[in-house]
Amino acid sequence: MGLAFLVLGAGFMRAIVTRGEVGVRYRAATVARLAVLGAASLSYLFLLMAFLNGYDSAPGEWIPNEFAVNTFALRYTDWSITVPLLCAELLAVTTLVGVASRRTMFTALGLAFGMIFTGFLGAVVIDGGSNPTATLGWFGVSTVFWILTNIVLVRAVRASIPNLTGEAGRQLRNATTLLLGGWVIYPIVALIQLVGFGGDWTTVIQVVLCIADVVVKLGFSTIIHDVAKLRTAEDVRAGEDVHPEAVWIASVKQSDAGQAPEVFLEQSRVIHTPRTRPPSSTAHGMTAEQAQAIPDVTPSHD
């Protein structure tokens, strides 16, 4: 847990430093990335504290006390926030726009939250997760939400890939595969709780969940960041957007810095083309007559 906290914390710091590499159009992906890694880092700090308070040290072993359940309950708190945000991060770099984008976003976020919440009811809330019937029942409901969430995300990605360049489409597909493939691990681990007991199984579950969280959240967010940069470069090259600096990925320049060729004024509908900067050799001082011609705008104190 401590190692996962450090890795996710480092990823969060990197997300802060690199947030300006993405154009405004895909800034939602950057915001979601920061929120995912920030929430995950904070959650693992609390998980580490919960572990220290939930287990009592004994010679050669750790004995769980009444607070040990928090080492699992806090994970669902984390997932209820980060899983919907992962969906938002993915959808932010697709080609969906307007009403279709908003509808897909709200649907995916709602389904993802339902997936986590119903799983939480069966694994923790009802009878403390010790009722196999209730756990399996709510696991089935959670699985339905999981399938529907997958369908919504896959449809959005499949509709977007034909409209992207080859590299951006390939990276988007890789990110989707990593996210949806990583999600398969969590229900498998949840089922282990029904058949596996004791410290060894608890250790296996915690280690697997730590690895899955780091790979899915940090790995997925890194790929999505590259997709956002590729799409930013595409927009700059096409003249659809501007960006203050060149876009580089893995030491390969994707586009130069983009500057607006024109400034549009909405009210007068007049287009002003930026003037080139005059050479410094043409600069000259103001004559005494020109200085005297400037009106005095100092307010009166009468």
Say what the pLDDT of residue 247 is: 76
Q: How large is the average pLDDT for residues 218-245?
A: 85
Contact in structure between 257 and 245 (CB atoms under 8 Å)? yes
Say what the pLDDT of residue 159 is: 93
Length of the chain, in residues: 302
Report which of residues 48 and 69 the model is more confident about.
48
Report which of residues 205 and 85 the model is more confident about.
85
Q: Answer whether residue 223 shows pLDDT above 80.
A: yes
Q: How large is the average pLDDT for residues 56-69?
A: 70
Say what the pLDDT of residue 301 is: 53
Q: How large is the average pLDDT for residues 6-18?
A: 91
Q: How large is the average pLDDT for residues 24-35?
A: 92
Contact in structure between 194 and 135 (CB atoms under 8 Å)? yes
Report which of residues 13 and 238 the model is more confident about.
13
CATH 1.10.3720.10 fits 2-242, yes or no: no
Q: Answer whether residue 156 shows pLDDT above 80.
A: yes
Report which of residues 66 and 157 the model is more confident about.
157
Say what the pLDDT of residue 161 is: 92
Pairing of strands 263-264, 271-272: antiparallel
DSSP letter for each residue of 174-243: HHHHHHHHHHTHHHHHHHHHHH--SHHHHHHHHHHHHHHHIIIIIIHHHHHHHHHHHHHHHHHHHTS--B
Q: How large is the average pLDDT for residues 114-127?
A: 85
- For residue 275, name the pLDDT band (cuts at 50, 70, 90): low
Provide the whole-model pTM.
Answer: 0.79
Q: How large is the average pLDDT for residues 85-99?
A: 93
Q: Answer whether residue 262 shows pLDDT above 60.
A: no
Say what the pLDDT of residue 269 is: 52
CA–CA separation, 34 and 19 (whole Å): 9
Domain ranges of the chain: 2-242
Say what the pLDDT of residue 197 is: 62
The residues pairing with 64 across neighbouring beta strands, listed in sequence order, are 55
Say what the pLDDT of residue 266 is: 55
* Summary mean pLDDT of the chain: 82
CA–CA separation, 125 and 140 (whole Å): 16
Report which of residues 282 and 73 the model is more confident about.
73
- 108 token code pair: 């995916």
Q: Of the ranges 14-28, 113-127, 184-198, which one carries the lowest mean pLDDT score?
A: 184-198
Cα–chain center distance at 48: 23
Say what the pLDDT of residue 237 is: 80
